[in-house]
Amino acid sequence: MYRRVQLLEKELIPELTPDGLSRAVTVPIATNADSLATWLLPALSPLMHSHALEINLIVDDETRTLNRLRSGEAVVAISTEATPLHGCTASPLGTMNYLCVCTPEFKQRYFPNGLNSETVSRAPAVVFDRFDDMHTQFVSERFNLPTVGWRSHMVRSSEAFVKMAKLGVAYCLIPKLQIEEELAEGTLIDLCPGDGVYRHLFLHHFSNQSGVLANMTEACRHYAGEALT
């Protein structure tokens, strides 16, 4: 809460001081890595051009970003949680569509006859960190595999997910929005057509916003509404 008051005070500086435009407003945003790698920066860039902003991007899993708003580390959070905190609003952003992908060569090596419990347990996958349960749920629900016992690399970078998949060293769940070119070219292929993972995203922010914060949340809602499904 102190961070919010401090930010709101700084928003008034340009109106109260002649040199206010040179004083930057720091805006801490808790975001998941996939939003950062796809739609978030384009959404924020117009405001970064028109306002003296210092954006502090706090990257965490989308199931835990709301904790950053709760603790006061962030004033805005992108989360899969639909229920807002007290005094806050949760605005729907859209749905991130994840596809299970790999290279044609990887598929031929590990999944020549398709995905099943045996082949999935042997093929190396990629997860974001030890809290990332998306791939775990994907394989356990579809192939009745335990939550442990299958191979996985741990990489805290959305861009590295794409790189590892394109290098043919792993298969993984990647936002369709992030790999449309690779899918069109055929360098990456969808292993489970019609059976992706869908994550609904919400923008959590303080209610009754004004100034920079209101402009920023509106920009995020607008851009995400066009980029996401």
> Do 78 and 120 belong to one domain?
no
CB-hemisphere CA count at 13 Å for 75? 23
pLDDT at 8 over 90: no
Collect all residues with Cβ–Cβ distance below 8 Å to 87 and sequence separation of at least 6.
206, 207
> Do 121 and 188 belong to one domain?
yes
> Do 143 and 190 belong to one domain?
yes
Q: Read off the tokens for 221.
A: 């809602």
> Do 114 and 186 belong to one domain?
yes
> Do 158 and 222 belong to one domain?
no
> Do 61 and 112 belong to one domain?
no
Query: Between helices 40-50 and 211-227, what is the axis angle to 10°?
Result: 150
Q: Which residues form the domain of 118?
A: 97-198
Say if CB 22 and CB 52 are below 8 A apart.
yes
Task: Work out how many domains the chain is built from and give that number.
Answer: 2
> Do 87 and 7 belong to one domain?
yes
> Do 21 and 57 belong to one domain?
yes
Say if CB 63 and CB 202 are below 8 A apart.
no
CATH number at residue 7: 3.40.190.10
> Do 143 and 189 belong to one domain?
yes
76-135 tens-digit pLDDT: 999 999 999 999 999 999 999 999 999 999 999 999 999 998 999 899 999 998 888 899
Name which of 97, 166, 94 is nearest 126 in CA terms: 166
> Do 5 and 43 belong to one domain?
yes
Q: Is the pTM of this model over 0.75?
A: yes
15-68 tens-digit pLDDT: 434 444 557 888 999 999 999 999 999 999 999 999 888 999 999 999 999 999
> Do 187 and 209 belong to one domain?
no
Q: What is the pLDDT of residue 29?
A: 97
Percent of the chain with pLDDT over 70: 89
> Do 115 and 208 belong to one domain?
no
Given CA atoms 169, 175, 176, 180 in this order, what sign does their dihedral have?
Answer: negative
